Amino acid sequence: MESIGVLMVCPMNSYLEHELEKRFNLFRFWTVPEKSAFLATNKNSIRAVVGNSSAGADAELIEVLPKLEIVASFSVGLDKIDLAKCKEKGIRVTNTPDVLTDDVADLAIGLMLAVLRKLCESDRYVRSGKWKKGDYRLTTKFTGKKVGIIGLGRIGMAVAKRAEAFSCPISYYSRTEKPEIKYKYYPGVVELAANCDILVVACSLTEETLHIINREVIDALGPKGVLINVGRGPHVDEPELVSALVERRLGGAGLDVFEHEPEVPEELFGLDNVVLLPHVGSGTVETRQAMADLVIGNLEAHFLNRPLLTPVV
Amino acid sequence: MNNTCVLVTCPMFTYLEQELETRFNLIKLWDHSSSKAEFFNNYSSSIKAVVGNTKVGADAKLIDSLPNLEIVASYSVGLDKIDLDKCKQRGIKVTNTPDVLTDDVADLAIGLALAVLRKVCVCDQFVRSGNWISGDFGLATKFSGKSVGIVGLGRIGSAIAKRAEAFQCPISYHSRSKKPNTNYKYYSNIVDLAANCEILVVACALTEETHHIVNRKVIDALGPKGFLINIARGAHVDEPELVSALLEGRLGGAGLDVFENEPEPPEQLFALDNVVLVPHVGSDTGETSKAMADLVISNLEAHFKGKPLLTPVI
């Protein structure tokens, strides 16, 4: 398989690169100075693309790779892949579901606790020596707060299961009600936001869910409400979110994703009611290794004509 | 009751002081710090109740100086700052604030574990300092599924276990005696517990027996991939040993809400990115502080009305 060209679109994981190099002819797209020239030269040998949450396979890239057979994403999210185009051309698509569910759900809970109990702020308080001058102020209890989840898929369910252990009543919004689920369903996001204390974005990013968190939803969540985003930055109308936080119309936010990563609105940096993370939802040693193994497993299966492990298309 | 003298030992919560003032003749010990002798001359025989907390309680010296003391109501669940023997001897009642703070402390234990393993505070700082523009953050450690060992399976320890179970953490514990109604694995020796878990949580009461229960041997057993979470008392841990283990990489990390000399934690920890340090905030939410204060007030009211105490210790 060493002659099979695999194009990795951006740096994501050195173990993955290493393992791909052992098996395939790996092209590191980000090291190429003249991308169009490179593609013109190598397009006929590239049979697979490996992307992630930052860069995937858009229509433009797919069009320029006539021998492309499979796109294997080092992510569960598929928003950076033109799925319609892949379907059209019979190109397979795989992602990395399940192996990262726990990490993302853990982070959602970690963000809730960090925001409500102001963990990072009080850690800074201690390290700056301020504790000597007086106690830190009172924060907000987490146990028992109502948690509303947008998207009750693998990750949404995992968040719910954890939050239940803290006696949090769970409610949710999704495209369709899930009759087998005991949590309370709301047919609209605004209604969900109006009836919970902590709103968690855990759905996939599609045309329908772009800016699903808008001014109306933020107003409904209100000055005592907290938004947790472990989905995608574009799920949230970011300028609206920023002004709501700065003007204290929203109680707080825990954000792992942003509209223009790695750029984060600087107005948030001075706020004590937000926790800002650099898209680390699945960023643990254990999980990234499992994700990498799944990417390799899917590519090997494809080129050996075996069933794909985690196909999407 | 308005002329019943109640001594509050240090500033703890404005709402509590206000509520005490409406019901009793409230005397603030810190208002008299410059004239202690005079204070005791004027007030000592009229003080019938002391309200203490985790910083200043009722030690033998204070109790001895108050001949008509009837009750010590602690604004805490921990009793390590109260001389219980002396109280028993003198027939002085003691109350604390159990249950109302259990959730907050357990939440904090999980919050600290997540923050340490997933490097939440380090990441937040990374973003705010603009470093994300230059490159991604490195990898942290997964929390789900890690084995959690709890020292002390009382109200707080059990609440921590229940939460950790939702993250598929196998639970084991050490306490003075095995608890009959649990499925968790028991270790009669804390070193064995530490050797067999990845995250060790201190959740027991501070007594003579549990002073420095987390010592060099326990820290060694926990090891370079192990994490210590302390939401109990600073004195549970041999702090210099903990500090050197962290500095030398012999312990994987720590989440600490309590220290041996509050409010001065060891400054050598301030530069480490595998620790999270919070200023004894275990029960410091608006909701819980009010519930604790209401419990202190209710216990005092019950006592002075001759009714049963709500949460007596002795």
pLDDT, tens only, B160-193: 999 999 999 999 999 999 999 999 999 999 999 9
How confident is the model at residue B32, as a pLDDT? 86
**Distance between CA A46 and CA A49 in Å, rounded?**
8
What is the pLDDT averaged over residues B138-147?
Answer: 98
Measured between CA atoms, the residue of chain A closest to residue B266 is A127
In a domain, A311, yes or no: no
3-state secondary structure of B173: strand
Mutate to test the interface with A, among B107, B126, B256, B275 (most CBs of A within 10 A): B107
- Set of chain A residues whose Cβ sits within 8 Å of the Cβ of B108: 113, 117
Whether A119 and A231 share a structural domain: yes
In chain B the first and final C-alpha atoms are separated, in Å, by 23
The yes-or-no answer on residue B233 being catalytic is yes
**CA angle A262–A267–A272, rounded 5-degree value:** 100
Residue A72 belongs to domain spanning: 5-95+286-304
Do A167 and A108 share a structural domain? Answer: yes
Q: Are strands A184-185 and A170-173 parallel, antiparallel or unpaired?
A: parallel
The alpha carbon of residue B312 is apart from the nearest alpha carbon of chain A, in Å, by: 25
Which of B101, B128, B141, B261 to mutate to test binding with chain A, by most A CBs within 10 Å of its CB? B128
Q: ipTM strictly over 0.95?
A: yes
Residue of A232, A235, A288, A302 marked catalytic: A232
Residues A224 and A80 in one domain: no
Q: What integer pLDDT is reported at residue B2 of this predicted model?
A: 74
Residue A44's pLDDT is 96
Q: How far apart are CA A267 and CA A253, in angstroms?
A: 13
Nearest to A233 by CA among A113, A57, A53, A10: A53
- d(C-alpha B96, C-alpha B79), whole Å: 8
Distance between CA B107 and CA B159 in Å, rounded?
9
Q: Are residues A154 and A264 located together in one domain of the fold?
A: yes
Confirm whether A70 is domain-assigned. yes
Asked if B184 reaches chain A (Cβ–Cβ under 8 Å), the answer is: no
Catalytic residue among B70, B165, B262, B301: B262
In a domain, A108, yes or no: yes
Token couple for A24:
């395939």
Q: Cβ A141–B288 below 8 Å, yes or no?
A: yes
Q: Is B121 on the interface with A (CB under 8 A)?
A: yes
Three-state secondary structure call for residue B134: helix
Tell whether A113 is covered by a domain: yes
Give the minimum alpha-carbon distance from B189 to chain A in angstroms, rounded to a whole number: 28
Q: Closest approach of chain B CAs to the CA of A117, in angstroms?
A: 8
Is B278's CB within 8 Å of A123's CB?
yes
- What's the CATH number where A33 sits? 3.40.50.720
Asked if A9 contacts A49 with a C-beta cutoff of 8 angstroms, the reply is yes
What is the model's pLDDT at position B35?
83
B115 touches chain A (CB under 8 A): yes
CB contact under 8 A, B103 and A143: yes
* A50/chain B closest Cα distance in angstroms: 18
Contacts of B276 in chain A (CB under 8 A): 119, 123
Query: A89 and A179 share a domain?
Result: no
Q: Name the phi and psi angles at B211, rounded to 5.
A: -60, 130
A214 shares its domain with A134: yes
Q: Alpha helices, DSSP H only, in chain B?
A: 14-23, 36-43, 60-64, 84-90, 102-117, 120-128, 155-165, 190-195, 216-222, 239-247, 286-304
Same domain, A142 and A35: no
Given phi > 0 = left and psi -120 to 50 = alpha, else beta, which region is B55?
alpha
Q: Does B264 sit within 8 Å of A131, measured CB to CB?
A: yes
Residues 279-308 of B with CB under 8 A from A: 279-281, 284-289
pLDDT of residue B177: 93
pTM: 0.97
Q: Considering the domain boundaries, does residue A312 fall inside one?
A: no
pLDDT (0 to 100) of residue B36: 81
d(CA A244, CA A215): 8
Based on the residue annotation, tell me whether A288 is a catalytic residue of this protein. no
Measured between beta carbons, which residues in chain A are less than 8 angstroms from residue B285? 117, 138-141
A78 and A181 share one domain: no
Residue A104 contacts residue A282 (beta carbons within 8 Å): yes
B118 to chain A nearest CA, in Å?
Answer: 8
Looking at the structure, tell me whether residues A104 and A245 fall in a common domain. Answer: yes
**Does some domain include residue A254?**
yes
Determine the residue of chain B that is closest to A268 in CA distance. Answer: B128
Whether A124 maps to a domain, the answer reads yes
Are A147 and A259 in a shared domain?
yes
Residue A87 lies in a domain: yes
> How many Cα atoms sit within 13 Å of B293 on the Cβ side?
19
Catalytic choice (B163, B174, B233, B236):
B233
**B77-117 confidence digits (pLDDT tens):** 999 999 999 999 999 999 999 999 999 999 999 999 999 99
Q: Please tell me the predicted confidence (pLDDT) of residue A313.
A: 85
Q: How confident is the model at residue B41 (pLDDT cuts 50, 70, 90)?
A: confident
Is B241 one of the annotated active-site residues of the chain?
no
User: What SS3 class is residue A106?
Assistant: helix
Residue A2 confidence (pLDDT): 77
| A53/chain B closest Cα distance in angstroms | 13
Q: Which pLDDT tens digit goes with each residue over A231-247?
A: 999 999 999 999 999 99
Peptide bond into A307 cis (omega under 30): no
> Rounded to a whole number, what is the largest CA-CA distance in chain B?
68
- 3-class SS at A267? helix
Give the β-pairing of A147-150 and A92-94.
unpaired
Q: For residue range B277-312, list pLDDT tens digits in order.
A: 999 999 999 999 999 999 999 999 999 999 999 999
CA A91 – CA A72 distance, rounded (Å): 10
- Residues A187, A74, single domain; the answer is no
Peptide bond before A262: cis, by omega within 30 degrees of 0? Answer: yes
Q: In chain A, how many domains are there?
A: 2
pLDDT at residue B38 in the model: 85
Secondary structure string (H, E, C) spanning A206-236 = CCCCCCCECHHHHHHHCCCCEEEECCCHHHE
pLDDT digit string, tens, across residues B241-291: 999 999 999 999 999 999 999 999 999 999 999 999 999 999 999 999 999
Q: Which residue type sits at B62?
A: L
A263/B167 Cβ within 8 A: no
Binding-face residues of B in 245-264 toward A, CB within 8 A: 262-264
Query: What span, in angstroms and rounded, lies between the C-alpha atoms of B269 and B277?
Result: 9
One domain for residues A185 and A55: no
Q: Helix or strand or coil: residue A260?
A: strand
Which residue of chain B comes nearest to A264, CA vs CA? B127
C-beta of residue A92 within 8 angstroms of C-beta of residue A69: yes
Question: Which residue positions in chain A have pLDDT lower than 70?
Answer: none
B-chain residue closest to A157, CA distance: B166
Going by pLDDT thresholds of 50, 70 and 90, the confidence category of residue B314 is confident
Q: What is the pLDDT of residues B2-27, one digit of tens each?
A: 789 999 999 999 999 999 999 999 99
What was the pLDDT predicted at B1? Answer: 67
Q: Please identify which residue in the block is written with the tokens 């907050």.
A: B104
Cα B144 to Cα B167: distance, rounded to the nearest angstrom: 5
